[in-house]
Structure 1
């Protein structure tokens, strides 16, 4: 029994191993959040203002650098044999938002991914080599920074979100915490969003062993953490998630899907194997919400969402997704598809979250209605003008013979 069972197990393992070996990885996209940083800003009564931080607000810390160096080493280990050991500019493209912390995170990551060797070592005491990281000005960034503020319809959706029963219930349930934050921080107005900002500041300070004010108890921090995660859901998941995705994260998803399709159809296969995107927690959330795989929790520092394109043994292409939360790697499953989702199915299932004309969808419905009213009024005015013109013409035609007859009568009298 045991030898037979062992034989079956070995045969099964061999078959499974054969199937796996025949699946060829073709292309990878990784999107990650920057590493640990200083707070973006402080609240009015915060004892730690900007001068308390070595590089000021919103800057990558040494902890954040180490986090991304570690992530780079993880990627090196995962893609050994897929990527060359040495940096090859044709194999990888790196893009970042135009923030110090995301640019520096990408550079730290690349230091772990591509330690120089051989001819790439340009200084014997420096185990590092420069690798280009591309960016665009934030005024032009429409791919990696969400939520974008150029969409009136999204603004309207957020207003409607705040009127939902769930939003009202959460606000009422945590009213005491929101009021506490208002009283203790010196903020004139507090909301879910401003409470999230205060939590972020307190969290950053705690990570760097800064003493919290007496009012910041573990219970308060736990409640603030819940409100922070809830704020992420309100932006991208809570209430009309698909429409929000079409106006926000779907833009990045659409670009990723387009790249996957291009790689699969291009012949001969391009040399590019890895697209690296360095961005923010809201970027990762917006993308995962558009895929309907967001777990409702703010992505931690150096968390990473991975897309892998495979060519199967029969020539078909599949897509698999993974999420590295800075400690563990999880395989994600697109709703309605398998862990290795056929590319065509992946495209079809993600299509509802991708807009063909985002700028048009961003217009408010009322604006369209106003245009229709204006057009209708213009047409009505033209028809009315035409009707009056016709009526006057008819009247003129009816009176014209009388004038002609009278004119002749005067002439006749003159002649007489």
Structure 2
């Protein structure tokens, strides 16, 4: 009798039914959003004089920007860590998600590019795809020869890469390019670019590889060199006699600063054309992602506690775990929005392979208010670190959701992002010109009556 009862309870919890609330004192966990960077990959491109061109990279299907077996393993490992944190197991930090995959509780979104899609699949393999995780052949996966035991295929959703303003920080956005061109004309960026320390590094690199660089393309060199040190370190130093650790570090330092400027991080407010350029850059980069998360959290709260009976409440009520499988810049966008980008700057100015930031939504059962906890996984092999207290306005592990809401509100674009990306100086001038023509025509028509 006891054995049957135990099995029934275990089965219910495994498949998502009757999982008891996750509590930390008076706090109750309601939803998790996680943004991660893909794992180790081949370069996405390189400089013309590089001895390691596309044919040097054969893993992951071969060619530029493909996830390596190491990258696949990094996300397998991260998936196991996430299982240990969130999935209902004996040693879990929070018994929050069912021990066997339940499609109602999670949604995985990836940018539409191979390395992020494969990273998501690898991560799900670590989280829900092992043979000893309790899934059942014939129910959760085929009971057939040739099918890996325990492998549960989990849907990975995606959208068009070039128009993905949430996950792809380099999506097609004329406004972002226009703002960046303005930023480069600012005194701060020009003085930095023309300083002896910076110009000497750029000029030296230009001479060595016989190729000139725009600031936004400068990343190509340190990115390729970083990866080549992993796979071809000895050959790299023999073929590129100019390569030294010291010069490489100088290149990285220049690139780190470019990265910060592109995200609107200046030493002081830069005002041009009556705009705060730093804020405007951050709006088009971080705004869509931050508002997507906060909008979903608000919907969850409204449906659970606000009495909302909208049609989409059925979906959001069951949803507990939302994933963005994306890029270093996507993770960086969250850190910059929250003012804690410094944690990605050392040792590099960008989040490392399989870096992940988790935004946990908690509800205080005493004051009936919403809170969040920010958790960071810096790189493969690291544990999770609670970073909430580093955010301005937050004093401990939990922070009022109002702080996150205000961040999203500050970064919300004036129009939907696909429309706002089209608003530039030329488009504004064109709009004014058209309006003037209509007004002039109306005046002429009036006096001709």
Range of TM-score over shorter length: 0.7 to 0.9
Give yes or no for the alignment of 1:354 onto 2:412: yes
Specify the alignment match of 1:161 in structure 2: 183
Specify the alignment match of 1:396 in structure 2: none
1:241–1:147: structure 2 CA closer, same or farther, 3 Å change rule? farther
Conservation of the 8 A alpha-carbon contact between 2:297 and 2:361: yes
Using structure 1 for the length normalisation, give the TM-score.
0.81
Using structure 2 for the length normalisation, give the TM-score.
0.76
Q: 1:170 and 1:342 mapped to 2: Cα distance? A: 38
Q: Count the aligned residue pairs.
A: 370
Gaps (5+ residues) in structure 2?
1-21, 87-91, 267-276, 305-313
Specify the alignment match of 2:359 in structure 1: 307
Give yes or no for the alignment of 1:293 onto 2:293: no
Specify the alignment match of 1:233 in structure 2: 260
1:160–1:101: structure 2 CA closer, same or farther, 3 Å change rule? same
Conservation of the 8 A alpha-carbon contact between 1:41 and 1:58: yes
1:241–1:320: structure 2 CA closer, same or farther, 3 Å change rule? farther
1:373–1:109: structure 2 CA closer, same or farther, 3 Å change rule? closer
Specify the alignment match of 2:112 in structure 1: 98
Q: 2:405 and 2:287 mapped to 1: Cα distance? A: 12
Between 333-342 and 107-116, report the one with greater CA deviation.
333-342
Cα RMSD, aligned residues only: 2.6
**Per-residue deviation, 1:385:** 7.1
Specify the alignment match of 1:224 in structure 2: 251
Conservation of the 8 A alpha-carbon contact between 2:42 and 2:66: yes
**Per-residue deviation, 1:301:** 0.6
Specify the alignment match of 1:402 in structure 2: none
Between 143-152 and 99-108, report the one with greater CA deviation.
143-152
Which structure carries more helix by proportion?
1
Between 102-111 and 361-370, report the one with greater CA deviation.
361-370
Conservation of the 8 A alpha-carbon contact between 2:222 and 2:252: yes
Which aligned pairs between 1:260-409 and structure 2 lie closer than 5 A? Answer: 260-267=297-304, 270-295=317-342, 296=345, 297-314=349-366, 315-326=368-379, 327-333=382-388, 334-339=391-396, 340-357=398-415, 358=417, 359-360=419-420, 362-365=422-425, 367-376=427-436, 379-380=439-440, 383=443
Give yes or no for the alignment of 1:146 onto 2:169: yes
1:264–1:214: structure 2 CA closer, same or farther, 3 Å change rule? same
Larger Rg: 1
**Per-residue deviation, 1:148:** 2.8
